[in-house]
Amino acid sequence: MKNRIVILAGFAGGLALAAVAPAKVHPKAAEVSKTVQALAPNQAALALFAGKCAKCHGFRGDGRGKLAGLMDPKPTNFTDPAWQKKWTDAQILDAITYGGKSAKEKIGKKMPSFSERPKLTNTQIESLLPVVRSFSPRKDGGK
């Protein structure tokens, strides 16, 4: 009887621990979360980036998406501080809107024009700006 109580207690305790134990996370997840939380709390924009952009630019914005190996030149690395410093918000929006057809910005021809196909609204395009900025920690949040 005593053994059964011990066993049951241990089982219950294990269940309790499992219930409160944090879910397994990738070692880098917390770091990414903090950066994104500070600048881009828009869940919809994050999902949009994951669905439309990450396959080339990577989920970390480092230009190492799954399809990047097929492309030349490689997709832009948003974690590059020099790139973040050089490109203005207006230039980033122009690049997303017109892609490789952009007459103003010199970017790879393979970058889609998100005002055409696949078509995003202006609001959706603008919502991606904080996500792009979030991949490199910034104090001012943009120019």
Partner 1 sequence: MMNRREGSVSWLGSLFGAVLLLLVCAPRRAAAVPSFSRQTGMSCSFCHTVFPGLTAEGRKFKLLGYVTSADSGDASTWKQSAPASGPSVQASGGDSGDDEGQGSLPILASAPIGASIQISDNFLARPANDSSGNPVSWTASSGSDGMGVAQLPTAVSLFYAGRIASKAGAFIQATYDSDSGVFHLDSMTDVRYADEAQVDGTDLIWGLTANSAPTMQDVWNTVPMWSFPYLTSTISPMAAAGTRLDDMGAAGNEGGLGAYAYWNDLLYTEIAGYRSTPQGGGSYLAIQGVAPYWRVALQHGWDDDVQSLEVGTLGFAESTYPSGVLPQGPTDQFTDLAFDTQYQYVGDSNLVTGHAIFIHENQDRGYSFGNGASSNSADNLQSFRVDGSYYYHRKVGFTIGYFDTEGSTDALLYPQMAFMGSADNSPLTRGLVYELNYVPAVNTKLTLQYRSYLDFNGSSGNYDGAGRNAEDNNTLMAIAWLGY
Q: Does 119 bind partner 1 (CB under 8 A)?
A: no
Residue with tokens 């269940």: 15
Look at the alpha carbons of 67, 100, 142, 49 in this order and tell me if their dihedral is positive or negative: negative
> Which region among 9-17, 21-29, 77-85, 89-97 touches partner 1 (by CB under 8 A)?
21-29
R_g of the chain computed on alpha carbons: 21
Among 13, 33, 122, 142, binds partner 1 (CB under 8 A): 33
Task: Please tell me whether residue 102 adopts helix, strand or coil conformation.
Answer: coil
Cis peptide before 130 (omega within 30 of 0): no
Closest CB to partner 1 among residues 110, 138: 110
Nearer to partner 1, 73 or 142 (CB): 73
Six-digit token pair at 74?
A: 């490689």
128 binds partner 1 (CB under 8 A): no
Residue 7 CB, nearest approach to partner 1 (Å):
27
The yes or no reply on residue 78 touching partner 1 (CB under 8 A) is no
